[in-house]
Structure 1
Amino acid sequence: MPKRAILAGGGALPQSLLEAGDAILVTFHGTPVDARASRQIEARFEQLASLFARLKSEGVTELCLAGAMRRPVFDPAALDTGTAALMPRLMAALQQGDDGLLRAVIALLEEQGFTICAPHDIRPDLLASEGVMVGEVSAALHADAHRAAAVLAALAPQDVGQGAVVAKGQVLAIETLPGTDAMLEFVAQTCPNSGGVLMKRPKAGQDLRVDMPGIGPQTIAMMQKAGLSGLVLQAGGALILEREKVLARAASAGITLWAAP
Structure 2
Amino acid sequence: MTDNSQSGRLALICGAGALPALLARAAGAPLICAVDGYEVEGLTPDIQFRLERLVPFLDRLHDEGVTRVAFAGGIRRPRLDPALFDPATAQLVPKILPAIQQGDDALLRAILALYEDAGFTVLGAHDIAPDLVPDAGVLGRSAPTAADERDAARAAEIVAALGAVDVGQGAVVAQGLCLAVESLPGTDAMLDFVAATGVALRPDPKGARGVLYKAPKPGQERRMDLPALGPETVRRAAAAGLAGIAWEAGGVLLLGREAVEAEAEAAGLFLWAREP
Q: Is the 8 A contact 2:154 2:173 kept in 1?
A: yes
Which blocks of at least 5 consecutive residues in structure 2 are unaligned?
1-6, 203-208
Partner of 2:268: 254
**Alignment partners' CA distance in 2, 1:35 and 1:96:** 32
Q: Which whole-Å CA distance do the structure 1 matches of 2:162 and 2:232 have between them?
A: 25
Aligned mate of 1:227, from 196, 219, 241: 241
Alignment of 1:155-166 (within 5 A): 155-166=162-173
Normalised to the residue count of structure 2, the TM-score between the two structures is: 0.91
1:82 equivalent in structure 2: 88
Q: String of CA shifts for 1:38-67, please: whole Å, max 9, x gaps.
A: x61111121111100100000101010111
Number of aligned positions between the proteins: 260
Work out whether residues 128 and 233 of structure 1, in 8 Å CA contact, stay in contact via their aligned partners in 2: no
Equivalent residue for 2:194, pick from 183, 187, 190: 187
Counterparts of 1:121 and 1:160, CA distance in 2: 25
Q: Which residue of 2 aligns with 1:2?
A: 8
Specify the SS of the correspondent of 1:26.
strand
Q: Does 2:212 match 1:198?
A: yes
Any idea what SS the aligned residue of 2:66 has? coil
SS, match of residue 231 in structure 1: strand
2:170 maps to amino acid: G
CA contact (8 A) 1:128 1:234 kept: no
Q: Distance in 1 between matches of 2:17 and 2:235?
A: 15
Cα deviation, 1:78-104, whole Å, max 9, x if unaligned, reads 222211221222111101111111111
How many Å apart are 1:227 and its aligned residue?
1.0
What code does the residue aligned with 2:171 have?
Answer: A
- Tell whether 2:157 aligns with 1:143: no
Task: Select the residue among 20, 23, 31 that pairs with 2:30.
Answer: 23
Alpha-carbon shift at residue 186 of structure 1 (Å): 1.2
Q: Cα distance, 1:2 vs. partner?
A: 1.6
Residue 102 (1) aligns with residue 116 (2): no
Deviations 1:118-141 (A, max 9, x none): 111110110021111031111111
Partner Cα distance (1:26, 1:87) in 2: 22
Q: Residues 54 and 89 of structure 2 are in contact (CA less than 8 Å); yes or no, is this contact kept in structure 1? A: yes
1:35 is displaced (CA, Å) by: 3.5
Q: Name the SS for the 2:53 alignment partner.
A: helix
Give the aligned partner of residue 123 of structure 1.
129
How far apart in 2 are the matches of 1:233 and 1:154? 15
Instruction: State the shift of 1:211 in Å.
Output: 1.7
Q: Which amino acid aligns with 1:145?
A: A
1:70 is aligned, of 76, 80, 84, to 76
Aligned counterparts of 1:34 and 1:92: Cα–Cα separation in 2:
31
Query: Distance in 2 between the 1:78 and 1:230 partners?
Result: 46
Q: Distance in 1 between matches of 2:222 and 2:214?
A: 13
Q: Distance in 1 between matches of 2:75 and 2:42?
A: 14
Partners of 2:91 and 2:199 lie apart in 1 by 49
Q: Does residue 239 of the first structure (1) align with residue 253 of the second (2)?
A: yes
Asked whether the 8 Å contact 1:31–1:70 carries over to 2, the reply is no
* Counterpart in the other structure of 1:45: 51
- Once the two structures are TM-superposed, the CA of residue 32 in structure 1 deviates from its matched residue by 3.4
Question: Does the residue aligned with 1:210 lie in a helix, a strand or coil?
Answer: coil
Deviates more, 1:52-61 or 1:23-32: 23-32
The CA deviation at 1:192 is: 4.0
Q: Deviations over 1:169-215 (max 9, x none)?
A: 00011111111111111111121486210001111100111121110
RMSD: 1.3
Structure 1 residue runs without a partner (length 5+): none
